[in-house]
Amino acid sequence: MTNHRRFSEHKLIIASHNQGKVREIHDLLRPYKIEVVSAGALGLDAPEETGTTFVANAELKARAAAEAANLPALADDSGLVVPALNGDPGIYSARWAGPEKDFDMAMGLVEDGLKDIDDRSAYFVAALALCWPDGHCETFEGRVDGSLVWPPRGALGFGYDPMFLPHGNDQTFGEMNPDAKHAISHRADAFTQLTRACFAD
């Protein structure tokens, strides 16, 4: 059994400039009474994501923030994996939205790629990395499976949520209220692993 480092500090950086992601992570951390601050609010630069996996990119972002601010940092790297598109957009999910973060365009690109393809299965992956200024990191990965719908439905959530229909549900992530999404999402799966390992009593 792996011995995980317990989180005992009172302040944590969320190493993200994505406000939707910061909001979701903050909501998931609320029960632990930790003061959280985003990398964006601290004026920290976002490092170039040169990793080839979700875990590698999450760790890269968390390490950079922890070293820059001398505080523990939590980073998430997540994306939509579409098997029929050879796993794209995958780790490039945010880049498909371009510099303007236009996810309507990104969802359109996914849909264009699926023309004349029957397989509309997809899954979201979320990797979490919790890193301390001394270089120690804990990493966790969560996943939720589903299928893709068109046209997109719902204005809640962010990113590709409006076109993702999780298995066993009739609402897309874009239609679900945040509590319902948090109960089943890829980020919630990774967070359950993280909190059991590093935060639970």
Catalytic residues: 77
Identify the three-state secondary structure at position 75: strand
Sign of CA dihedral 158, 159, 162, 164: negative
Helix/strand number for the chain, H first, E second? 5, 6
In angstroms, the CA 76 to CA 129 distance is 7
Length of the chain: 201
Task: Answer for the pair 5, 198: CB distance below 8 angstroms, yes or no.
Answer: yes
- Tokens at 140, concatenated: 């966790």
Query: Which positions ≥6 away from 56 have C-beta within 8 Å?
Result: 77
